[in-house]
Amino acid sequence: MSHNHCHDCNHHEHNHKLELVKLIISIILFIFSFKFSEYKLLIIITSYIIISYELVIDVFKNLFKGEIFDEKFLMFIATIGAFIIGEYEEALLVMILYQLGELLNHKAVDKSRKDIIKLMNLRSDVVRVITNDKEKETSPEKVKVNDIILVNPGEKIPLDGIVVEGVSLVDTSSITGESKPLSVKKDSKVLSGTINMNGTLKIIVTETYKNSTVSKILNLIENSDKDKAETERFFSRFAKIYTPIVVCLALAIFIIPSIITKDFNTWGYRSLVFLVTSCPCALVISIPLSFFSGIGACSKNGILVKNSLCLEKLLDIDEIIFDKTGTITEGVFEVVKVKGFGIKAKELLEIAAICESNSIHPVAASIKERYGKEVDTSKLKNFKLVDGGVTVTYDNDKYILGNYNLLRKNKVNFNMTKDIGTVVYISKNNEYLGYILISDKIKKSSKKIVSELKKRGIRDLIVLSGDNDNVVKSVCKSVGISRYSSELLPQDKVAYLNAAKKEKLNVMFVGDGVNDAPALIAADLGVSMGGIGSDAALEASDMVIMNDDLAKINTAIDIASFTKKIIYQNITFVLVVKGLILILAAFGLSNMIGAIFADVGVCLITIINSLRIFRGK
């Protein structure tokens, strides 16, 4: 948990205690006012000042800022009006009940925020750095890349790194929502914020605290209220227009009948009841809280949602575009065939491993892994990543490794293989040497999520991939997607998304976050899969799925749908109860206690209802 959060929690705790003390003193004085009737007015005024002085200060501060019409202003006017018409006890009781309701509301909201922040309590305050076989405790911010840190069983892993010594199970649930522990050993990558369960680990740090997974996640959570959903923005605007109208109506209820009937007290009281009843605070508090709880529920399930606007957009998606590699497929490649023409398969694999030695692409990694030996790169030069593959000079010969189009573009004469998979064709000085066939497993969840999204009525599911046509066609057929485009460059994907936008479609793009940043930004809703290690993914995505489970898209839509349902429940409940009590107030059939229920009581009920989202009920 960040220091700011701790400070805020302590500050709120102190404020709540102070409010509770003032409330108890005011209630005691209120009871005493009935016993000492000769000092009744003095005791009531003293009690009123104790319970409301902060509210009155806020009202006058807001008056100077030009912010007149808020719920504190309505409450102040209502209680002062009650004093003027001689309803002293009622004026004080209204303020006591209002402050009691506010205290309960704040406690409920703070409890929700604490629960959500506790869920994301990923930060370690102390790190043990090993220097010259000695342990030294320091803060995460002071640790540098390549420092060796020690993490004991039961402790949080403070920074991203690679295990250099030790074997353990790591609880990644706080990051990925995955309950099954991850087994780690030497050379395993570990993420900050996860918990080392049963073995001592020595880890070499690969990212500073500022760039670590935990820092990125906390930053996302803390800024999750930056872009507000349309529903939220509407009710913020609504409250600003609604409150002045209510004040004018209350004045009309007081002035017009009072002039006709000459009964100023009765109509004054009714207008005050009307004023208190009509406070919009239940909607102003419960709607943002509902979205915040929705974002928290997603975090609990290993889904990072940047803001409430993204949560709302989940329910308006017309079309979902998937990248193939690392999204629908595992993104774990393995060489399944090496075919040489005029060259032995073993020699072709060695050449490919040497030529791909400077590439970090998963395909290149699979070739190097299959070769399994150290390569001599001393004669390697002019390495270039090009569209569709690589070009390189080795031992003064020019090699091209890549897809069919790349070699044909370079006027290499050969026939395309009918093998299904990712094919790396290889040429030496424009003479064809052969190919390496690589396959990538389809994720278990891919077929299921495609079926579920179709049932939801998503208009179109499409795959856009840079891979060859046969591979993409085969994968799409396996998972049940009929539309696809293959052999695309990143800019082709962006062009496709822009065309869909022109048709006024709301498009979600789901990618692995490694090379899909432009498409993630171009989409209405960018979702990156397992992209937590990628800076580009976190910055470009609206939603990050912390493990590679595509089914989490469905979970996120379910949470968004439940959030919207709760918001509509709250809006309906508030409008019905307030409308009913306003009508009763206008006819003199409701008193200040009913008005307080319509304001504070309704607010508390909507808050409790909103918290159901986070609890997952």
Q: Which residues are catalytic?
A: 323
DSSP helix/strand/coil, 281 = helix
Q: How many other CB atoms are found less than 10 A from the CB of residue 194? A: 24
Question: How far, in Å, CA of 402 to CA of 444, rounded?
Answer: 28
Cβ–Cβ < 8 Å for 475, 328: yes
Backbone angles phi, psi at 356, to 5 degrees: -90, 5
DSSP notation for 348-375: HHHHHHHHTTT--SHHHHHHHHHH-S--
Cβ–Cβ < 8 Å for 305, 315: no
Dihedral (CA of 599, 605, 608, 609) sign? negative
Tokens of 156: 């949080």
Question: How far, in Å, CA of 455 to CA of 28, rounded?
Answer: 61
Indicate the angle between helix axes 552-586 and 281-300, nearest 10 degrees.
170
Question: How far, in Å, CA of 55 to CA of 73, rounded?
Answer: 9
Instruction: Specify the residue for token string 């030529």.
Output: 355
Question: How far, in Å, CA of 496 to CA of 462, rounded?
Answer: 11
Q: How far is CA 333 from the centre of its chain?
A: 30
- Parallel, antiparallel or unpaired: strands 431-442 and 329-340: antiparallel
Tokens of 288: 């943002």
- Parallel, antiparallel or unpaired: strands 483-485 and 460-464: parallel
Tokens of 310: 């993204």
Q: How many other CB atoms are found less than 10 A from the CB of residue 573? A: 16
Q: Is 617 exposed, middle or buried (0-12, 13-18, 19+ CB in 10 A)?
A: exposed
Question: How far, in Å, CA of 582 to CA of 579, rounded?
Answer: 5
- Parallel, antiparallel or unpaired: strands 389-394 and 380-386: antiparallel
- Parallel, antiparallel or unpaired: strands 525-529 and 507-511: parallel
- Parallel, antiparallel or unpaired: strands 525-529 and 543-545: parallel
Q: If residue 226 lies in a helix (H) or strand (E), which one and from where to where?
A: none
DSSP helix/strand/coil, 398 = strand
